Amino acid sequence: MKLVQCFTSAFCLALVEGRCICPGALHNESLALRMVESNIARHQGATLTTASTGFIQLGLFQQALRAAINATSNSTKKSEWSAYLRNGITSSAPSFLNASLNAERPLDRFSLGTSYILQSENEDDDALSGAIEALEQSAVLQPRNDNGGLWYYNNVNNLSAYHNLSYLDGMFSYAPFALLASEYDISNNTDLQLAL
């Protein structure tokens, strides 16, 4: 679990003896934590946006914020940031309760699924559980190209774009989700393993 968190962290380059190691640790940590504060002050990462990159933006911010929470020794900041993270996660989860609709969205949606799984370790929330299950089911429903690769985006509004194409950036979101979901206890786990 720590290895997955380290690789998805915006701050860390290596995991050594259970700790994420960052270049120029104190200086870079200070800058990174100030950037988190700046994002929060501008209400970034609080909710889903309508931008075409909204899923990946929110998912990346949530990963960075989780890393900042783990990196800071300031208990006040840790508490404030944890509440901000929780609100961002729980406010977006109801948008992902429909597996069929999810399958029409970019693979970037799975970066949010990763946040839902990590948050569900701390709380029992029906919307989180439902979103995780619907996202898992959407992986099974995701169209595939001739080589068996997941389409990056099944855009039903633009049939000429993205169809039959797989992109590495989609795998950035899908792979961590698939790994964590394989450990998550829900009924559709066998179907997700078949989708892999």
Domain limits, the chain? 2-195
pTM: predicted TM-score of the whole model, two decimal places: 0.78
* Triad 169, 175, 181: Cα angle to 5°: 145
Q: Which helix (H) or strand (E) holds 174?
A: helix 168-183
Sign of CA dihedral 69, 72, 78, 84: negative
**Longest pairwise C-alpha distance within the chain:** 52
Q: What is the pLDDT of residue 148?
A: 85
Q: Which residue has 């029906």 as its token pair?
A: 126
Q: For the chain of 196 residues, list the mean pLDDT of each consecutive stretch of 10.
A: 46 45 55 88 90 90 94 94 96 97 94 96 93 96 87 76 71 92 68 54
Q: Cβ atoms within 10 A of the Cβ of 158, count?
A: 9
The confidence score (pLDDT) of residue 166 equals: 75
Look at the block and give the residue holding tokens 């934590």: 33
- Bridge partners (DSSP) listed for residue 171: none
Count CB atoms within 10 A of the CB of residue 131: 28
Q: Which two tokens stand for residue 64?
A: 């960075």
**Best CA proximity match to 92, nearest among 38, 136, 132:** 132
